[in-house]
Amino acid sequence: MKRILALGLIIVIVGIAAVAQDVTLTIYADDTRAPLLTTLGEAYTAVTGVAIEIVEFPWNDIRPNFITATQAGEGPDIIIWAHDAVGELVANGLIAPMELGGRAADFSSSALSAFTVGDTVYGMPYGTENLSLVYNKEIVPQAPRTWDEVLAIMRAQYDPDVPSYGLAFQNTAGNFFQFFPMISAAGGYIFGFNEDGSYNPCDVGLANEGAVFGATLYQDMIEEGILPTGVDWDTLNALVAGKNVAMVITGPWLLSAIQDAGWDYGIARIPAIKGPDGTYNQPLAFIGVQGFMVSAFSDNKTVAMDFLLNYVATTEVMADMANAGNRIPTFIPAIDLAPADLAYFADQAAFGLPMPSIPEMDQVWQEGGNAIDLINNGTDAATALQQAYDLIIAAIGCE
């Protein structure tokens, strides 16, 4: 008897707790953006009574956690992530179209197109990033304009005992992002375009003459020894911190480490590479766009978009969000508030293309990364790229 009463009491208490619920907006953000959103959230709660819960994850864990949580029905309402996930998330039906309406004019069109699949915009961008050449003015007073100058600097600076290098960029297997500029200069490309402007995943330009030319140039540098291999994120940071390298091809994410190391740094376009026909071509850099996306299974889409469009999409907040991560703002009124340095990244951004966000891109990261590995280990550039091409086509399933 007593047991039944105790049981009943527990059930009743739990039941009451389950029913009493306020409207809460859950946002997945990383540790750089979370503090800004928390202050903003408090202002929002004071005005509207809607509670905002920010859940912090390391940047790379946001996407897998979002996918797993949404599958289980416990997903957040908003996430912050890069645009290259949009293809996969839309293919899985996990994100909802963003209703920008007239506000779309406030965002740069290239940033919006990065978040577009078909005709629908699926996110609200806040910042872009791309690779550029960052050079130490103490060692290299003038930014090199051509790759021949770069090679001269590399040979002059090379000393394995110190160690000292002229140029470094991440070139371990997972870093196809940094490898792409060299491939693209003479005509390599990732996916071709269909007539309507969408990507044609079966038209892969990773093994064409231009790509092989760029990769062979890379291989020659490695064989000569002037370009360090096996440089991952930690090694790059170590090289920068010890001023062991004169020039780095990197994005704004490394700027704080460069500033901490006390570099007198300059930012310039990646130097032009002379193609096999003698013309100088500007290497292209991937542009990464970061933004907010709303979950398709959110019960609070109206409140989520209200928060995003009316509270986040203001000049000061967008400028702060982009500035926190050293990104260039995509909110047009906020671009004037960006630090001067970042304008130099825009130089290269004019020669950039957004990372393709279609799910087939995953294979490119995978196999392109493996191709770098093989080239690092001595495989001929043409063979390595050809293998990457064959495997990508096979995995995508093109005939």
Partner 1 sequence: MQSQSPFAILIKVVLLGAIDAVAVWAGIELVLSANYSMLAVLVVGTGLLNALVLSKKAYPFRYMAPALVFLFGMVVYPILYTGYVSLTNLQTGNLLPKHMVIETFENRFVLAEDAEQFTYSAFVDEGDGMALVLESETTGERLLYENGDTGPLDMDDPRLTLDDEGTVTGLLGYEPANKYAISSRLDALSIPFGDYVLRHSLFKFSKNTKQYSFDESSDTLTDLTTGAVYSPIEGTFTSEDGTELEPGFQAWIGFRNFGVLFSNAALRKDFGRVFAWTIVWSLFSVFLSFSLGLGLALLLNDRKLRARVIYRTLLIVPYVMPVFISALVWRGMFNTQFGIINRLFNDLFGVTFRWLDTPMLARGVLIFINVWLSFPYMMLISLGALQSIPGQLYEAARVDGAGMFRRFSKVTLPLLMISLAPLLIGSFAFAFNNFTLIYLVTAGRPAVLGAASPAGATDILISWTYRIAFQGGSGNQLGLASAVSILIFVMIGTMSAIGFRFTKRLEEVYK
Cα–Cα distances in angstroms (integers) from residue 383 to residues 72, 182, 211, 349, 375, in the given order: 44, 17, 12, 31, 9
Query: Candidates 4-12, 106-114, 275-283, 316-324 — which segment interacts with partner 1 by CB under 8 A?
Result: 4-12
Structural contact between residues 293 and 30, judged by C-beta atoms closer than 8 angstroms: no
Q: Taking the complex as a whole, how short is the minimal distance between the CB of residue 153 and partner 1, in angstroms?
A: 18
d(CA 87, CA 17): 39
Residues 345-364 that bind partner 1 (CB under 8 A): 359-360, 362-363
User: What element of type H or E holds 177?
Assistant: helix 176-185
CA 106 to the chain's CA centroid: 22
Tell me whether residue 63 or residue 269 sits nearer to partner 1 (CB atom). 63
Instruction: Assess 157 for contact with partner 1 (CB under 8 A).
Output: no
**Tokens 């870093």, residue?**
175
| Other CB atoms within 10 A of residue 144 CB | 23
Q: Per-residue x/- mask for partner 1, residues 193 to 212, rule CB under 8 A?
A: --------------------
Among 207, 198, 121, residue whose Cα is nearest residue 356 = 198
Can you tell me whether residue 230 is helix, strand or coil?
coil
Q: Taking the complex as a whole, how short is the minimal distance between the CB of residue 214 and partner 1, in angstroms?
A: 19
Instruction: Assess 382 for contact with partner 1 (CB under 8 A).
Output: no
Instruction: Assess 148 for contact with partner 1 (CB under 8 A).
Output: no
Instruction: Assess 240 for contact with partner 1 (CB under 8 A).
Output: no
Name residues whose C-beta falls within 8 Å of residue 314's C-beta, 6 or more positions apart in sequence: none
Instruction: Assess 332 for contact with partner 1 (CB under 8 A).
Output: no
Structural tokens at position 57: 């994850």
Tell me whether residue 282 or residue 366 sits nearer to partner 1 (CB atom). 366
Residues that bind partner 1 (CB under 8 A): 2-3, 6-7, 10-11, 14, 22-23, 48-50, 64, 67, 71, 73, 88, 90-94, 99, 101, 160-161, 163, 172-173, 228-231, 234-235, 238-239, 296-297, 299-303, 305-306, 309, 359-360, 362-363, 366, 369-371, 373-374, 376-377, 379, 383-384, 387, 391, 394-396
